[in-house]
Chains A and B, each alone.
Chain A
Amino acid sequence: MTERLRDIVRRISRPPSNSTRLINYYWQRTRRNKLAIFGLTFIIFLVLLAVVGPFFTLDPTLVDFENKNLPPVGFTIEQSVYNTETDDFITTKVSGTWNHPLGTDSKGRDMLAMLISGARVSMLVGLIATGIAIILGTIIGVLSAYLGGWVDNVLMRLTDIMMTFPFFILLVLIVFIFGPSLVIIVLAIGLTGWTGTARLLRSEALSLRTREFITAAKAMGASDNRVIFRHLIPNVISLIIVIATLAIPGVILAEAALSFIGLGDPTVPSWGIILEAGQNSLRTAWWVAVEPGIMIFLTVLAFNFLGDGLRDAFDPKSNI
C-alpha cells in the first residue's frame, strides 16, 4: 500500500464519531426555537435539582408541628390557633421565614425539600414509564410492519383492543388491583401507554420497508436482524425521540392524576401526592397545593415545548 493510501485510510478510519455532525445539524435547527430552548433549560435545571437537590435541603419527611402551615417567604397570613388556657381561638399573623422559603405543610414539613424530592419521583416515573412504553411500542410497531402477514394482524388487533380501553380507567383498574406502589404505577403506565407509539412506528416502518435501500440491503445478503437494527431503526430514531419527549409530560400528569384521586404511592412524596394532601387545606394553606401544581404545569409545558421544537428540527420539510 502506498503512503498516500495509508494516509487516507488513517484519516477516514477516525471519523468525527459517526453521528456527531448529524447531531450538530439538528442542534443548530433546534436552537432557533426559543421556546424549545426554554424547555430544555428548564428540564436540565429540573434534572440537576432532582439529582443533587436532596443533599442540600432539609429532610422532606421531618415533621415539625411547631412550624406547621408556614407561608412562603414574603407572604403573611392570619392563622387561628386554639388557646388551651382561655379555651378559644386567637388569631395571629404568621409570616414566611427563610428557614422554609416555600413554606411548610400541615405537618410542618418543608415544602422546598418535598418539591425537590417530588421532582426526583416525577422524573423517574416520567423517564422509566416512557422508556418502557416507547421500547414496547417500537418493537411491536417495527416487527408488525417488517414481518407483515399474520404477525402484523395479531399485533395490530392487540393494539386495537388496548386502544379501546380508556387509558386512565385501565390505569386506575390496574393500580387498584395490584396496589398503589411506585413500581406498579410505573409498570402500569409503561405497559398501557405503548399503543400510539406502535401505530406511528408501524406506519413509518411500512413506508421505509418499501424504500430501495432496504431492498439493496437484502440484495447484499443482509439478515432480517441487520435490516431492522441497522437500517429501519436508525431511520425512525428521530421520530422516537419526538414521541418520547411528547409522551413524558403525559406520564407525569397520569402519575399526578393517580395520586390526586388517592391511588398514588403514599410512601413517596411525588408532586401528585403533595397536591392531593394540599387540596384539603386550600383555604388555610393554599401554597401546599399551588406549588406542586406550578411545578407540574411548568414541567409539562417544558417537555411539550422541547418536543415541538425537536419535531420541527427533525422534519426536513419545515423551514426553521
Chain B
Amino acid sequence: MKHMLNHKLLKIRNLKKYYPVTAGLFSRHVGDIKAVDGVTFDISEKEIIGLVGESGCGKSTLGKTIPRLEEPTSGEILYKGTDVAKLDKKGLRELRREIQIIFQDPDASLDPRMTVGDSICEPLIIHNIGDEKKRMERVVELMEQVGLEATQANLYPHEFSGGQKQRIGIARALAMNPKLIIADEPVSALDVSIQAQILNLMMDIQERLGLAYLFIAHDLSVIKHMAHRIAVMYLGKIVELADKRETFDNPLHPYTEALLSAAPSFKSKDKDRILLRGDVPSPLNPPAGCHFHPRCHRVLPICNQQEPELAEISEGHFAACHLYKSL
C-alpha cells in the first residue's frame, strides 16, 4: 500500500542529545555521551517509520527526545512547523496530546495501584476532556478497540497477561486521538506468539485511524512487517534511510547488510552470513572517522580518517558511507 508522503508531520533537523559526563569532587566536565548525534529525518502523516539498531545506539533516547521527555541538546524538532524545543509548559501539554508513547515493558508502564480503566482514562482527565460519563464511554470504546473486555476496566494490571497489558498501553496511547505514536520496542518484551497479535492490532489501528508511527525495534523482522520506511541507527547517527523494499532488497550501508544477514531466513545459507565482530563501541569515546569502521567488513583506508555524511545515493535512499561517494 503506497501512502502520501507529502504532508510532513514531524521534521527532525540535526538533533543532538548529549549526556555530560562529570568526574571528581567539583563535577569537572570530562566528556559527553553522544546518545543522539546529529539526526535528521522526517515523518509524514500516516507514515510508519521503522527505527532499528543495536542496543545502546540511541533509538530510545531519540524517541524520548521528540515529546521532550529528554531535553534536546541542540537541533530542531519541528512538529507541524513549531519547534518543540521552544515550547512553554502549556505548549508542551498540547504537544503531548498529539504525540503519544507506547512503552517497551507493558508491566512497568502501568501504575500497579490504578485500575486499568483509570489508567486508560488518565490522559482524558489530565487534558480535561468530557465529563465523567463521557470519559467512561471513551474507556469502553478504547478497550473494545484494542480487543479487551470493557468489563475488565476495574481490574488491576497484575491481573492481566503481558499481551493484554500491552493492549491496555495501546488503548491509553489512543485515548487522546494522537497524530503520532512513538512505539518504543512495543513487542520485544512479549512472547513471540503474542508479538504478531500486537503488531497486527497496531497496523489495524494505524490504518483505521490514520496515525503515524515511529516504530523503534532492534529486530528487522518486526519492522519488515509494518514499516513504510526504515531508518538504521548506529552510535547516535542514522546510517541508512530508505523505503522498506529498498532497504531489504538493496541495502547500501555495510551495517545494514550485517543486520539483514543476522535476521533468520530460509533463503540465506550460514556461510553467506556477515558476522559483526565485537560490541557497539562506547558512545563516550566513539572511533574516529566512520563510527562503524572497526567492525566493518568493507572498510576503506579513508574510513578511519573522515566521517561520512548522510547523502542521497539514489532517489529517496540515503546512506552515510564512503563506499558510495564516487557514485
B154 at interface by CB-CB < 8 Å: yes
**Mostly helix, strand, loop or mixed at chain A's interface?**
helix
Candidates B101, B115, B126, B154; contact of A222 at CB < 8 Å: B126
Contact A16–B154 (Cβ < 8 Å): yes
Q: A223 — nearest CB in chain B belongs to which residue?
A: B126
Distance to closest chain B CB from A294 (angstroms): 40
By a CB distance below 8 angstroms, the chain A residues around B126 are: 220-223, 226
Contact A212–B92 (Cβ < 8 Å): no
Contact B111–A219 (Cβ < 8 Å): no
B313 at interface by CB-CB < 8 Å: no
How many interface residues does B have (CB within 8 Å)?
41
Q: Could you tell me which B residues sit within 8 Å of A by CB distance?
A: 64, 67, 69, 92-93, 96-97, 100-101, 103-105, 108-115, 117-118, 122-123, 126-127, 132-133, 136-137, 139-141, 150-151, 153-154, 156, 169, 172, 176
Contact B96–A219 (Cβ < 8 Å): yes
Contact A15–B122 (Cβ < 8 Å): no
Q: B123 — nearest CB in chain A belongs to which residue?
A: A220
**A168 CA to B31 CA, complexed, in Å:** 48
Distance to closest chain A CB from B88 (angstroms): 13
Q: B118 — nearest CB in chain A belongs to which residue?
A: A18
Given contact pairs A15-B115, A220-B122, a sample of 20 additional A-B residue pairs in the complex whose CB atoms are under 8 Å apart: A5-B140, A5-B141, A12-B150, A22-B113, A212-B103, A213-B108, A213-B110, A216-B109, A219-B67, A219-B100, A220-B126, A220-B172, A221-B126, A221-B127, A222-B122, A222-B126, A234-B111, A234-B113, A235-B111, A235-B112
Contact B115–A219 (Cβ < 8 Å): no
Show 12 residue pairs from A and B whose CB-CB distance is below 8 angstroms, ordered by the A residue: A1-B137, A11-B151, A12-B139, A13-B132, A15-B117, A22-B156, A211-B108, A213-B111, A216-B169, A221-B126, A223-B126, A231-B114
**A38 CA to B151 CA, complexed, in Å:** 39
A217 at interface by CB-CB < 8 Å: yes
A181 at interface by CB-CB < 8 Å: no
**A211 CA to B105 CA, complexed, in Å:** 10
The 4 A-B residue pairs whose C-beta atoms are closest, nearest first, are A221-B96, A212-B108, A212-B109, A234-B113
By a CB distance below 8 angstroms, the chain B residues around A15 are: 115, 117, 154
**A21 CA to B132 CA, complexed, in Å:** 22
Contact B93–A12 (Cβ < 8 Å): no
**A222 CA to B125 CA, complexed, in Å:** 9
**A5 CA to B151 CA, complexed, in Å:** 10
**A211 CA to B109 CA, complexed, in Å:** 7
By a CB distance below 8 angstroms, the chain B residues around A215 are: 64, 69, 103, 109
Q: A15 — nearest CB in chain B belongs to which residue?
A: B154
Q: A316 — nearest CB in chain B belongs to which residue?
A: B158
Task: Using known A-B contacts A12-B117, A15-B115, A211-B108, determine if residue A221 contacts B133 with beta carbons closer than 8 Å.
Answer: no
By a CB distance below 8 angstroms, the chain A residues around B117 are: 12, 15
A8 at interface by CB-CB < 8 Å: yes
A218 at interface by CB-CB < 8 Å: yes
B-contact bits for A213-247, CB 8 A (1 contact / 0 none): 10111111111001000110011010000000000
Distance to closest chain A CB from B122 (angstroms): 6
Q: A13 — nearest CB in chain B belongs to which residue?
A: B136
By a CB distance below 8 angstroms, the chain B residues around A234 are: 111, 113-114
By a CB distance below 8 angstroms, the chain B residues around A226 are: 126
A161 at interface by CB-CB < 8 Å: no
By a CB distance below 8 angstroms, the chain A residues around B141 are: 5
Contact A235–B132 (Cβ < 8 Å): no
By a CB distance below 8 angstroms, the chain B residues around A5 are: 137, 140-141
Contact B101–A9 (Cβ < 8 Å): no
Contact A217–B151 (Cβ < 8 Å): no
By a CB distance below 8 angstroms, the chain B residues around A18 are: 115, 118
